[in-house]
Amino acid sequence: MVRPVHRRPGQSRKAQYSLFAAYVIAVTGAVAGLLLAILSVVDPVGFAQLRLASQEITAPIARVSRSVIGSISGIDDSVGAYVRAGSQNRRLRTELADTRRELVATSTLQEENRQLKALLKLQETDKTALANGYLLTSTSTSSKRIALLSIGRNLGVAAGQPVRGADGLIGRVLSSGPSVSQVLLLTDVDNIVPVRRARDGLPALAYGRGNGDLDIRTLNIANNPFKPGDILVTSGSGGLYPPNIPVAIVVRRQDDGALARPLADPGKVDAVSVLRPYTPDNIEAQRAPPSPPAPVPEPAP
């Protein structure tokens, strides 16, 4: 705009000093801020409570706007559904017929599986969730993929707990406040999930790309074994995510692995469950209640 008039504050000592002081404060503050940023990257827990406190303020507004507008992310889908209605209908009908056939085959397998498991006396791990909530909103202006969950410490949510939707894994709880908590989404650049291929148990790691997709890399440097359509589930190794939660489907092969798309889209998922972290004491605690203490085998005389 127009050239500012009083750039140099003239002869007034007071004005000169206050301008100088403003610059000193600004430069010192900027340097301190950047140091603080580096510090909070190194130790993210320390500042999490400060941020949660501010998000507790906006959470009620997000709750209201969510109940009024619904989830914005579905708009593109509902428009697309109208455009593609005819071809989609045909495709879905053939898919339905195929799925029915597969369902029959699967149900016999399921029964067989149940019998075999009964024989092996394998315990199903407890699948019940710790708490259920929904995703309110997310950091949509920054490169971090953090969503706000509608429940917090009031329902027992704590940092490190895995979060899943009906279709698959969503992420893990980063920090929890009194009534909201932050969820680091699966697709965040810093989120790494140990997975395995559902078909044959091939272990791999899923790295978030930050743009909604995942990079899948195998642990061994063999030739690239992935094919489009491979389903990946959590392997349970590493001890955070319980095994056998669906994670992603491979879209295409890449030089060093594969590109996969998460099965659960956090923008469209309605309700999410917070699970117990998969740690040895939790697994024991879950196994204990359903099984009565096994009778001690009589020592052979």
Partner 1 sequence: MNKTAAPRLGEPASLWRMRIVPVATVMLASALPLMLPLVANSPVLPPLGLLFFLCWQLLRTEMWPVWIGLPLGLWDDLFSGQPIGTAVGLWTLASIAIHYSSQRIYWRGFLHDWVIAALLIASIQSLAALIAHPGAATGRVLGLVVPQIVISILLVPLFMRLTGKFDNFRLKRR
Residues in contact with partner 1 by CB under 8 A are: 1-4, 6-7, 22-23, 25-27, 29-41, 44, 47, 50-51, 54-55, 58, 61-62, 65-66, 69-73, 135-148, 185, 187, 189-190, 209-212, 265-267
CB nearer to partner 1: pick between 28 and 244: 28
Between residues 207 and 278, which has the closer beta carbon with respect to partner 1? 207
Q: How far is the CB of 170 from partner 1 (least distance, A)?
A: 10
State how far the Cα of 112 lies from the Cα of 121, in Å rounded to an integer. Answer: 14
The three-point CA angle 202-206-208 to 5° equals: 165
Dig out the tokens for 244 from the structure.
């056998």
Q: Minimum distance between the CB of residue 174 and partner 1, rounded to whole angstroms?
A: 10
Phi, psi of 131 (to 5 degrees): -160, 160
d(CA 3, CA 277): 61
Cβ 250 to partner 1 shortest distance, Å = 18
Q: Which residues contact 185 (CB under 8 A, 6 or more apart)?
A: 138, 145, 146, 147, 170, 171, 191, 208, 266
* Residue placing its CB nearer to partner 1 in the complex, 204 or 269: 269
Q: Which residue has the tokens 């969950």?
A: 149
Tokens 């469209």 sit at which residue? 268
* CA atoms 89, 95, 97, 99: torsion sign: negative
Least Cβ distance, residue 109 to partner 1 (angstroms): 35
C-alpha 254, offset from chain centre: 23
Of the candidates 267, 250, 266, 247, the one whose C-alpha atom is nearest the C-alpha of residue 78 is: 267
- In the complex, what is the shortest distance from the CB of residue 235 to partner 1, in angstroms, rounded to a whole number? 22
Single-letter amino acid code for the residue at 131: A
Amino acid at 297: P
- Output 48 or 283, the one with its CB closest to partner 1: 48
Q: How far apart are the first and last CA of the chain?
A: 100
Q: How far is the CB of 251 from partner 1 (least distance, A)?
A: 14
Q: Which is nearer to partner 1, 137 or 273 (CB)?
A: 137
Q: How far is the CB of 7 from partner 1 (least distance, A)?
A: 6
Q: Which of 75, 109 has the CB closer to partner 1? A: 75
Instruction: Give whichever of 69 and 120 is closer to partner 1, judged by the CB atom.
Output: 69
The answer to whether residues 155 and 140 touch, using CB atoms and an 8 Å cutoff, is no
